[in-house]
Amino acid sequence: MALVHTAYHPLRYHRALNSDAYDLHVRAASLFEEFRRSVETNCIDEAVHLDREALGLHPPGHPKRDVSLNRLAIRLSVRYKQLGRMSDIVEAIMLDRKALSLRPHGHPDRSTSLNNLAVDLSMDLDEAIALDREALGQSGGTEERNGNLRPQGHPGWSASLNNLAVRLSTQFNQLGVMQNLDETIVFEREALGLQPQGRPDRSQSSSNLAARLSTRSNHLGLGVTEDLDEAISLEREDLGLRPQEHPDRSYTQLGVTQDLDAAIVLDRESLGLRLQGHPDRLAIDLATRYKRLGVMRLRSPGMNRTPPFESSFALHDGHFTIQCIMGCDLKNPEFAYLSACHTTVGDVESPDEVIHLAAAMQFIGFRSVFGTMWAVNDGETNKITSTLYKHVVDASGRLDYTRAAYALNKTMRSVDIPLDQWILYIHLGG
């Protein structure tokens, strides 16, 4: 799931802005679209520059200053997600607050400013959730409505539901409060109901709800099957909405499975229906994890010189070989994280087995591979991993392998760890 800013339709700009500001915004919008396609930083930099010029044409007191504030804030927020410049998100939040102050209660665009400020404040979950609730007209509970900022049917209603669900899910992951997960499911059900059959966004809404239901099923224990049954039904629907060539089909179709019956078996693994030691369990488990997370993290690798394809990774229920990973048929794999605590059966001609295993993962098709050499501290590794994942997420909330090298560098500079732990981390690939 990704958080969604709310912008203005270009035709509305034409009516709202004077011609000079309109021209600047149109040029900025064109560069912004080019940036989204190419991820060229000069495009987003120029878009920011043009929107800043447009803001200058709307000084304090101008009736449309809030529009320019909103646009510039969005550009800066996206650039922060791409480049990690703290000054960008600080300025974006400041501009969001200024735009909100120009849109008092009753203003038709107040909900837009509340939504955008909540997105940019997403690291402060409590304040962001409160703003999302206000945008939806909620005073606190999931039932009580106290306003009509975004009544049902409003074009921004679905985006606000999505954002609030994302934040509540994040808070559940941090605090483990079941009420947060329950509310997430309520809002995601409502968001799914707004996406009729055949609409492109329905697939994402269906997938989001299935993931939350699966999480609740796992959290509540083995005796609860209703959520899992519904998740299976939603995943069936999701697979039907993504044809063979759909770029996201691999997140729904579970690699080694041949049909939906096998996919159902995978989802029932959490109920213990596939016994430990089953010959296919490791491959299915790995493909399932990659489908859920979009990144493959493997710990404690070991080398085997003869044959090399029998080199393996240690999982909780057995060893997983390079050859087995090759058989998983993962679609367009991007990230692999090799966390090697100790060499097991090393190659006498190599300094550490992770180099060869990382190269093997690239050979399989992973575009970016992170690795740790020699002995690492588990506590430091967890701290680095959580920070690293934040920096490899792009503006749309998806993992972006082109950010990998930057993300590792940014992580190492921001996390306080000893030098002897810092130098163990490597990156291979794009």
Dig out the tokens for 252 from the structure.
């729904």
Distance, CA of 366 to chain centre:
18
- Average pLDDT of the residues in 310-338: 63
Phi, psi of 299 (to 5 degrees): -115, 155
Which region among 35-39, 73-77, 139-143, 307-311 has the lowest average model confidence (pLDDT)?
Answer: 139-143
**β-strands 335-339, 368-372 pairing:** parallel
* Listed ranges 13-27, 279-293, 300-314; the one with the highest mean pLDDT: 13-27
CA distance 14 to 159: 24
Domains of the chain: 1-120 (1.10.3450), 294-429 (no CATH)
pLDDT at 99: 92
CA distance 137 to 148: 6
CA distance 267 to 217: 11
Phi, psi of 352 (to 5 degrees): -165, 145
* pLDDT tens figures, 52-66: 998 988 889 888 899
- Checking 406-412 for CB contacts under 8 A at 24+ apart, the result is 406/84, 408/370, 410/84, 411/384, 411/387, 412/384
Kindly report whether the peptide bond that precedes residue 155 is cis, defined as omega within 30 degrees of 0.
no
pLDDT at 235: 74
Residue 47's H or E segment, with its range, is helix 41-56
* Alpha carbon distances (Å) from 170 to 86, 155, 181: 21, 25, 9
Sign of CA dihedral 157, 159, 160, 166: positive
pLDDT at 181: 85
- Average pLDDT of the residues in 394-414: 78
CB 54 within 8 A of CB 25: yes
Residue 239's H or E segment, with its range, is helix 226-241
- Three-class SS state of 331: coil
* Listed ranges 176-185, 378-387, 417-426; the one with the highest mean pLDDT: 176-185
Beta bridge pairs of residue 372: 339, 425
* pLDDT tens figures, 235-285: 776 655 445 444 444 444 433 334 445 444 444 443 343 444 444 444 445
- Three-class SS state of 385: helix
CA distance 218 to 173: 13
* Listed ranges 118-127, 236-245, 349-358, 379-388; the one with the highest mean pLDDT: 379-388
Burial class (CB within 10 angstroms; exposed 0-12, middle 13-18, buried 19+) of 382 = exposed
Does 351 have pLDDT greater than 70?
no
* pLDDT tens figures, 136-164: 775 444 433 334 455 555 666 777 788 78
Please indicate whether residue 387 or residue 16 has the higher confidence score (pLDDT).
Answer: 387
* Percentage of the chain modeled with pLDDT above 90: 4
CB 228 within 8 A of CB 214: yes
- Average pLDDT of the residues in 115-134: 74
